[in-house]
Structure 1
């Protein structure tokens, strides 16, 4: 048995005010479990994306999250759950004026190949992107895989990524 206090887990560098990965602290081997708090404008993910082998479920505890999907936008209110199948593109946001709290569960634990699509101003379209740790060690940076232009940079608790 493992037990943790969510507030005791370190906040990750994400496009969300708070993202605490509970997977390792709980010793999970087959399931990814993350706790999120999204301020207005925050996102669950760095980009519109999919996972090759992992299905993903979001349980909204408070507020309303809006998910961008291939079929259009889907709102998920407190007490509701949404599931995305393997290779299904999605990105969740807080488009409201109130805090969103949610749990994200993914299984199996591994993603497999992941496609991440972000808008590149140089290419003029949404292109695949690569995420890397910033040289400062305190950020995550997205680069367009077509032209290598930086398309986003996040710091702990930052919003969707400032583009220089």
Structure 2
């Protein structure tokens, strides 16, 4: 058994879209699941882009407040004590559209995700598509020489 006090885990700020994210995966020594606690102030996001994990399903459990999740085809509000699941390959993005803080757990399985794809980066207000074949989403590159790789034709591109 592993035990952790969430307040003892150092927050890891990620870019400019949220201030208090605490990864519980390593402190809990999980092998098969990723667990992260988010506190989002009004206007903050869970991530900076519409994205999917092709090899991971994600569950968001809202513990306080009200979070808005969007997929290309619809939008849903998840209230306190409610949860939402996104399957592998399902593009989504979540944020706090309300006036009160949101506290939520994000649970992903399996723990590691090697195939993350981006279709839009809200913080840059930019759609991500392949410069060669116009595929409407890109895989995040694992190599240092490019930011994204097209899953259809393997063309690479960077944000610059």
TM-score, normalization by structure 1: 0.75
Aligned match of 1:6: 6
Query: 1: CA distance between counterparts of 2:98 and 2:53?
Result: 26
Higher relative contact order (CA 8 A, sep 6+): 1
Which 4+ residue blocks in structure 1 deviate beyond 4 angstroms?
128-131, 143-147
CA distance in 1, matches of 2:103, 2:43: 13
1:113-150 C-alpha deviation (Å, 9 max, x unpaired): 10123349x9x85114859xxxxxxxxxxx6864633x
1:40 and 2:42 aligned: yes
CA distance in 2, matches of 1:27, 1:146: 35
Unaligned 5+ segments in structure 2 are 129-137, 142-146, 149-155
CA distance in 1, matches of 2:13, 2:25: 16
Task: Tell me the equivalent position of 2:159.
Answer: 148
Q: How many residues align?
A: 137
1:80 corresponds to 2:82: yes
Larger radius of gyration between Structure 1 and Structure 2 = 2
Tell whether 2:73 aligns with 1:71: yes
CA RMSD in angstroms, aligned pairs only = 2.5
Stretch of structure 1 that moved more, 69-78 or 48-57: 69-78
Q: Deviations over 1:26-50 (max 9, x none)?
A: 0001000000100001111121100
The 8 Å contact of residues 69 and 94 in structure 2, kept in 1 or not, is answered as yes
